[in-house]
Amino acid sequence: MNTLAKKRLKSIYAHTILILASILFLVPFVWMVSTSFKPITQVFTFPPEFLPRPFQWENYIEATKYIPFWTYTWNTAVITGLSTLGVVLSCPLVAYSFAKLRWRGRNALFAITIGVMMIPTQVTMIPLFLLFNQLGWVGTNLPLIVPAFFGVPFSIFLLRQFFKGLPDTLREAAKIDGASEWRIYWQIMFPLAKPAVLAVALFQFMAAWTDFLGPLIYLTDEAAYTLSLGLQQFQNQQGSQWHMMMAVSTLMTLPIIVLFFFMQKTFIRGITFTGIKG
């Protein structure tokens, strides 16, 4: 067997494994969407039936009536949008300083940033709650939004790797032309980092959109609930209505799927380029 045939055989094996793995991961999602259109009598039939008989489109209408779904969607969108904006504004700036600027204590502070990534959320949960309670923020959206404007360690790490991969000659040429460090960042480096920044923004969007623990801890007014809390509320009130619960879950998942579908090329480029240079 020649080299070309071996490469083709390896490619076939790799694609076969990837296709089988993708099917395995898609089955729960397909079942969720399928169940959202089923009548309640067909949900637990055995063997499982993926094709609803008949399609009940009204499941979605009825499901949004049990809880203030659109209010919760707006609350989630506000928190997600502002926290994503905070990450986009803060993390690239900090990452750029770690990657390109020379200042005393840079390496030590970056080591602390990496160390923060290793601290479990449960360790900082109570101190943060006490801090936000002293500030009078408990019961508001602020604990879910403001921390993002001070940077997310994982996002800073990814963006630093990207900035380190950009040639220093760009900065040097801009400095020769008289550009300030701030102008170099905003007009040269930040636009070049667009794939990585969008990848980080997508990570933050998914984390904030699906966050359950944060809203559960800090939100006390039912009118300020997010979709994740609304889904739990729906389960508590209508736990036996699985077809409607799957309809609400599908609606909650849809924005993430649509966003990733339109941004997948940029997302993959950003993740790939962050590992070019250590």
What's the mean pLDDT in 41-69? Answer: 80
Report the C-alpha gap between 191 and 201 in whole angstroms: 14
Q: Which residue has the higher pLDDT, 48 or 84?
A: 84
Tokens standing for residue 251: 């609606």
Q: According to the model, what pLDDT value does residue 276 have?
A: 47
* Residue closest to 151 by CA, chosen among 120, 114, 126: 114
If you search the block for the tokens 């390496």, which residue do you land on?
107
Give, as one character, the DSSP assignment of residue 22.
Answer: H
**Higher per-residue confidence, 277 vs 64:** 64
User: If you average pLDDT over residues 191-200, what whole number do you get?
Assistant: 87
pLDDT digits (tens, 9 = 90+) for 69-126: 889 999 999 999 999 999 999 999 999 999 888 888 888 999 999 888 888 888 889 9
pLDDT of residue 51: 78
Residue that the structure tokens 């923020």 belong to:
137
In angstroms, rounded to a whole number, what is the distance separating the alpha carbons of residues 94 and 225? 32
Task: Report the pLDDT value the prediction gives residue 278, as an integer from 0 to 100.
Answer: 43
How far is 228 from 54, CA to CA, in rounded Å? 29
Residue pair 148/83 in contact by the 8 Å Cβ criterion:
yes
pLDDT band at 172 (very low <50, low <70, confident <90, very high): confident
Residues 180-205, mean pLDDT to the nearest whole number: 88
Q: Would you state the pLDDT for residue 270?
A: 58
**Mean pLDDT over all residues of the chain?**
85
137 and 218 Cβ atoms separated by less than 8 Å: yes
* Joined tokens for residue 29: 């999602």
pLDDT of residue 147: 93
Residue whose C-alpha is closest to residue 41's, from 59, 65, 64:
59
Structure confidence at residue 272 (pLDDT): 58
Query: Per-residue pLDDT tens for 11-46?
Result: 888 888 988 888 888 888 888 888 888 887 777 777
In this prediction, residues 175-185 reach a mean pLDDT of: 85
CA dist 185 and 168 (Å) reads: 12
Share of the chain above pLDDT 90, in %: 27
pLDDT of residue 277: 47
DSSP per residue, 90-136:
HHHHHHHHHHH---TTHHHHHHHHHHHHTS-HHHHHHHHHHHHHHTT
Average pLDDT value for residue range 191-195: 86
Instruction: Band the pLDDT of 128: cuts 50, 70, 90.
Output: very high
Q: How many helices (H) and strands (E) does the chain have?
A: 14, 0
pLDDT of residue 267: 64
17: its two tokens: 């494994």
pLDDT tens-digit series, residues 215-262 = 999 998 888 899 888 888 777 776 677 778 888 888 888 888 888 777
- The structure tokens listed for 228 are 């994740």
**Measuring CA to CA, which residue among 1, 39, 33, 28 is closest to residue 241?**
39
Amino acid at 94: V
Contacts of 195 (CB under 8 A, 6+ apart): 162, 266, 267, 269, 270, 273
Mean pLDDT, range 154-176, rounded to an integer:
86
